[in-house]
Structures are given as structure tokens and as C-alpha cells.
Structure 1
């Protein structure tokens, strides 16, 4: 079984499509009913949708336990968010904490939920989503960049813990993703240069394959032409 958290969002749909096309038996988590209700019909028939709050460890533990005897082969953590914030000195601490909860804390909970079972079985793939901003921070995104840098550090540390037992942990670093929300937020931009969700999905599908056995602890740029 392959679990995709945040798979109902703009990025998630492209990733889920790539995974199911690659033959994965996919479970997609949701927390907002509006995103669940707008999940595309052509994918809805090919996956199982499960309500799960990824910031609640018990919710994720139940989801992982429901995988049965075969367990979770791949876990793709897409949950995250960007807050266009104030300069660092003027940023409310609540905004800072929200970015770290959504991006870094959710990733830590996800890794903690799935890695013990994978390590016990001696096989598995985990892919998280960082950001180019973690490598190239920009003004107004200090909390976002720092929280995504924390995701990279979590992936690297987790990989060191499980790489010798056959479990691979990686992350991808998108630039600007070509989603309806990003087009609406920046209507004057050249969106043709942005990376498409399906393109990111193809990279993630490879990282979730047996062919990617030599890749672990990596933070892979998926910038498109941006």
C-alpha cells in the first residue's frame, strides 16, 4: 500500500495520478471536505480516500495500522503550506509556529508513524516535500524557508537511521508549482516555466520504486524552468 498525505491538493493530484499509473495501490488522506469533494472523478475511482489529521499522531498511527500484514510500502508526505509573511522582525510568533507545525511537525509525525514498521519489514520508501526556498530563502519567507529546511534535515537524519535495513527516505524540492492557486496569486507570471504537479509526481513515483534502491537521504531539485 502507498499512502499519500495531502493528495487532494493541487500538487497531490498530479502525484497521485503518477503513482496509480505506476501501479501503486494508493490511499489518499484528506482533512478539508471541500478538497475531498473536488477530488477528480477519474482518480477517485482508482484510490481510497481516508480522513486523517496528519498533525494528530493517533490518526496517522491508525491509518498505518490499517495497511494490514503487508504494511505500507511507500509513504508520500505532501502536507505543507506557504504563508507570505512579514519581515522576520515583524512576524507574529503565531505565524511562525503555524508554518513549523504545517511543514516540519507534520513531517516528523509522518516519519515517526511509518518508519518503525518499514524498518521491521526491511523495506519501504518515504518521500517528503521540501522547497527550493530551503536552499534559496527570499524576503518575507523566513518561517517557510526555515520550516522546509527542517524537513530536509529530518529526511537526512531519518535516512541515516534506516538506510542499512532497506528503507529509503528522500525529499523533493519544488520551485513554483503550476497550480490554479499559484496562477491566481501571480497572474502576471510566466507559468509555463513553473514545474507541473505531474512532473513532480513522476520523480516521486521513481523514488517509490524498487529501481530507486540506491537513492536515500537526498534532497532532489524539481525546479522546472523557474
Structure 2
């Protein structure tokens, strides 16, 4: 994602003046496992930052002036359980998701007085077809279904969560 692309996406979302932008949800990201740190090429580490942190930064950056102009709103970022509980072979992923968490906390502090709140959800393994294919022997019943994550995100994007900013919400299912 490039800055111009993020700006175009936000402009498209704000094209209707009767409905000002009130919430932004940053869902873009990805996972790749690797070896231990000394076995992982720096390019793979950089790739994890690029696909997890950069889109969150660019979309949020483009949306913030609109949220402020509208009198406030919500930014919801998706990090991961690995940001607070890393596991072997995923240092780049854990670092990138921790960076998303730190970025969201910075936005919460910087924009609180302007009426914009920013919160983060931290899912564990998400029960998707791709994850099931990648881990066929895992206990899929313990994974969190996407609809349950969506419910938490919907709440954080809504006015019902108005007093909440800077929160990191674990969404682990039964993992």
C-alpha cells in the first residue's frame, strides 16, 4: 500500500458529505513463519513490517484529519496475541504486530483530546480455511471464529465504546 492509495480509499469513504467518516478499521496484515532470528533473512523481517504495520499507518494517517473534522471517531487496529506472547519462529511477525499495538497506543494518546479514540484487538489463531489447511492437525475448536472478532471490532468502532481508548482487547477464543 502506498500513501496515494490510502488517501484515495479514505477519500472514497468520505465522498458523501451527509455521512462523515466516524470509524476506521485496519484489517490488512499477514503471517509468515520462519526460523530462529539468526536463520531469518532481514528481507523476511522487513516484509512482516511492510505488510502489517505500513497499511495500518497509512490508512490511519489518511483518515485522522477526517475523523478530527467530524468531531471525533474510532480507529480500530488488528494486532495479534503474538505481540504480547511471541512464539518461536515468528520474530518478524511478533515484532510487526507489537509495532501495530504501539502505533495504536500512540494514536490514542495523540488524538484523545481531539475526540478520536484508538483501540486494538489481539486475536489468537483465527479459524479460517487457510489456517485449517496450514495446520490440519490442530484443535480448530480452540481457534477464534472471524465473526466473534468482528463483534469486538464492531463494538470498538461504535459510539458505545466512546469511553474506551488505548485498550488492547484479547480475542483468543478458547486458545
Alignment TM-score > 0.5, same fold: yes
The answer to whether the 8 A contact 1:65-1:71 is kept is no
Which of 66, 69, 74 is the matching residue for 1:125?
A: 74
Which of 49, 58, 75 is the matching residue for 2:4?
A: 58
- CA offset at residue 120 of structure 1? 2.2
Q: Where in structure 1 do 4 or more consecutive aligned residues deviate above 4 Å?
A: none
- CA offset at residue 217 of structure 1? 0.9
Q: Which residue of 2 aligns with 1:199?
A: 148
Q: Which residue of 1 aligns with 2:110?
A: 161
Distance 1:124 1:111 in 2: 12
Q: Establish whether residue 141 from structure 1 lines up as the match of residue 90 from structure 2.
A: yes
Q: Secondary structure at the match of 1:113?
A: helix
Q: Which residue of 2 aligns with 1:106?
A: 55
Q: Which residue of 1 aligns with 2:43?
A: 94
Structure 2 unaligned regions, length at least 5: none
RMSD: 1.0
The answer to whether the 8 A contact 2:10-2:59 is kept is no
Q: Establish whether residue 188 from structure 1 lines up as the match of residue 137 from structure 2.
A: yes
**Matching of residues 71-86 of structure 1 within 5 Å:** 71-86=20-35
TM-score (norm 2): 0.95
Structure 1 unaligned regions, length at least 5: 1-54
Distance 1:160 1:120 in 2: 18
The answer to whether the 8 A contact 1:156-1:170 is kept is yes
